[in-house]
Amino acid sequence: MPLFSANLGFLWQELPLPDAIRAAKAAGFDAVECHYPYEVPVEAVRTALSETGLLMLGLNTIRGNVAAGDNGLAAVPQREAEARVAIEQAIGYAQAIGAPNVHVMAGRAAGEAARTTFIATLRHACALAAKAGITILIEPLNHRDAPGYFLQTSEQALEIIEAVGAPNIKLMFDCYHLQIMQGDLTRRLQTYLNSIGHIQIASVPDRREPDHGEIDYRYILRLLEELGYERPIGAEYRPATSTEAGLQWLQEYR
């Protein structure tokens, strides 16, 4: 039976994070994940996780100055010091709540200088994360939702992972983003499975509940079962109405 993680960056946004964790448990999710929990006291999150028995799979580094267009910092030349502070913040928070993964956001950048910056920053992140037993994730984002984002394809991500050369860096395989950018999800999952640290799902093209659109997730779930993938799959979608109203897919997919 597949396991599912509620991405609380999108689901139950109307609730404080600790209450969203409780709502995810009540709805039948097996784990949770989030984006930017830093304004929520660690103890409140830890208490909710303890009450529910859920694991917080991961969280993101901050985007930076969103008003100025930042969408991450790690690949942006001349922002290395800020990127390292963001990584230290994320790893510290993740360690405090028992989260095993940190997604390091690359940001808007391009070219060889951005690649060099990203690799150096990720090496620093991996060394720091290793001390806490944490895995660093990097995620290609599509050019419609995240214009100008440095990391856009699975092959680019895998080349970066190889260049970093650390054992604790993996690919965040978001089916929504990669279907828009590349497609061929079956072959990519089969080929890259050992390099994947987390998988996320949403409908394409509207990023709603994963029960319609151009990706047949029933097929994807059967494929992952055949491949022996047993970790929770992240539901990272924007509910069409309320979160509860759109959860029929969760029981159907089980």
Give 75-96 as a DSSP string.
Answer: T-TT-HHHHHHHHHHHHHHHHH
- Average pLDDT score over residue span 41-50: 98
Q: Beta partners for 108?
A: 149
Per-residue pLDDT tens over the stretch 107-122: 999 999 999 999 999 9
Dihedral over Cα of 221, 180, 237, 156: its sign:
positive
- Average pLDDT score over residue span 66-75: 95
- Average pLDDT score over residue span 37-43: 98
pLDDT band at 68 (very low <50, low <70, confident <90, very high): very high
- Average pLDDT score over residue span 206-231: 97
Active site amino acids = 139, 236
Q: How far apart are CA 57 and CA 102, in angstroms?
A: 9
> What's residue 27's pLDDT?
98
- Average pLDDT score over residue span 211-233: 97
Give the chain as a DSSP string.
Answer: ---EEEETTTTTTTS-HHHHHHHHHHHT-SEEE-S--TTS-HHHHHHHHHHHT--B-EEEPP-S-GGGT-SBSTT-TT-HHHHHHHHHHHHHHHHHHT--EEE--B-B--SHHHHHHHHHHHHHHHHHHHHTT-EEEE----TTTSTTBS---HHHHHHHHHHH--TTEEEEEEHHHHHHHT--HHHHHHHHGGGEEEEEE--TTT---TTSSS--HHHHHHHHHHHT--SPEEE----SS-TGGGTHHHHHH-
Q: How far apart are CA 128 and CA 91, in angstroms?
A: 8
Instruction: Tell me which residue has tokens 């009450």.
Output: 51
Per-residue pLDDT tens over the stretch 8-17: 999 999 999 9
Share of the chain above pLDDT 90, in %: 99
pTM passes above 0.85 = yes
> What's residue 1's pLDDT?
82
Q: Which residue type is seen at 108? A: R
Q: How far apart are CA 26 and CA 158, in angstroms?
A: 37
Share of the chain above pLDDT 70, in %: 100
For residue 254, pLDDT over 90 is answered with no
**Mean pLDDT, the chain, integer:** 97
pLDDT band at 57 (very low <50, low <70, confident <90, very high): very high
For residue 184, pLDDT over 90 is answered with yes
CA 205 to chain centre: 19
Asked if residue 2 lies in contact with residue 219, where contact means CB atoms within 8 angstroms, the answer is no
pLDDT band at 209 (very low <50, low <70, confident <90, very high): very high
> What's residue 17's pLDDT?
98
Domains assigned to the chain: 26-212+219-253 (3.20.20.150)
